[in-house]
Structure 1
Amino acid sequence: MSHLISSFAMTDDDLIQAATQLVGEFRTGPDCVAGRVAAALVTAKGNVYTGICIDLVCSLGSCAEYSAIAEMLKARESEIHTIVSVCGSRIVPPCGRCRELMRQVSDANARTRIIVARGRMATLSELLPFEWKRI
């Protein structure tokens, strides 16, 4: 099931709420916990995609941002306008792996607004100032 939400005037608070509604840890078995972190993003076209993390005992798994970005890519979109990740009731910035994914998915994502706290934003290029492939 796709987590596409059409957005005409998605505010940052709306995006935070979309991610917060998905947070909720659950187990699918003794080796898999999901939902500790959720992410929501809005694309340059105004569509919203969401995802949750998957944590596995073997240390393989997937971040919530990866899940949301995969949903976006399935719809053949690649430019992220704004993204937020939530763990419990806290906003958490994306990890380095997720930052690099956003950057490599589209050069335009250097301008992506990342909500790092309520009322506080940073662009991806501010969080990832030195691109390894361009140095």
Structure 2
Amino acid sequence: MTETKNDIWEKLYNAAKKVQNARTVSPFIEAGGVAAAILTKGGNIYVGVCIDTASTLGMCAERNAIANMITNGESQIEKLVAITPDGKVGSPCGACREYMMQLDKDSGEIEILVDYETRKTVRLKELIPDWWGKSRFEGE
């Protein structure tokens, strides 16, 4: 595959890789095994890492990146990449899929990178078909 300087997936991958730093924060918390980067409809990139805790109060990297986005006043995602500890990309978990679907009526169109080498992507609506909350967006 031919890469270009403007390859947004490479840019997102590198942004996530930059913050991915698996580490032990305390005897109860590990962080940074997984990292994520999102591109918003506004053209901004936000990143986050997973925070795993002994009490299950942790946060996935995707939700951490989304929290960063919301903190900065945005709420619409265009693209997402998540990097697993082995450097490969992976799909968001069910909780993250649900979280993203609830952000916006068009969230089903979020493009998610599932293979970095081939740049294969899927839309969120393919990962969570027949989503239960669709009707709540009617009337917007």
With the length of structure 2 as denominator, give the TM-score of the two structures.
Answer: 0.86
Aligned equivalent of 2:54: 57
What per-residue deviation string (whole Å, max 9, x for no partner) do you get for residues 70-100 of structure 1?
A: 0111122111010010012110110010011
Aligned equivalent of 2:39: 42
Aligned equivalent of 1:11: 8
Aligned mates of 1:130, 1:108 — CA distance in 2 = 14
Equivalent position to 1:83, from 74, 80, 97: 80
Aligned mates of 1:114, 1:124 — CA distance in 2 = 7
Asked whether the equivalents of residues 114 and 120 of structure 2 are also in contact (C-alpha less than 8 Å), the reply is yes
Over the matched positions of the two proteins, sequence identity in percent amounts to: 36
Aligned equivalent of 1:100: 98
Aligned equivalent of 2:3: none
Question: Following superposition, which runs of at least 4 residues in structure 1 exceed 6 angstroms of deviation?
Answer: none
The alpha-carbon deviation at position 133 of structure 1 amounts to 2.5
Aligned mates of 1:121, 1:134 — CA distance in 2 = 22
Asked whether the equivalents of residues 102 and 133 of structure 2 are also in contact (C-alpha less than 8 Å), the reply is no
Pair member with larger Rg: 2
The alpha-carbon deviation at position 134 of structure 1 amounts to 4.1
Asked whether the equivalents of residues 23 and 87 of structure 1 are also in contact (C-alpha less than 8 Å), the reply is no
The alpha-carbon deviation at position 57 of structure 1 amounts to 1.2
Asked whether the equivalents of residues 105 and 134 of structure 2 are also in contact (C-alpha less than 8 Å), the reply is no
Answer yes or no: is 1:115 the counterpart of 2:113. Answer: yes
> Partner amino acid for 2:27?
P
Count how many residue pairs are aligned between Structure 1 and Structure 2: 127
Aligned mates of 1:105, 1:134 — CA distance in 2 = 11
Q: What secondary structure sits across from 1:101 in the alignment? A: helix
The gaps in structure 1 that reach 5 residues or longer are: 1-8
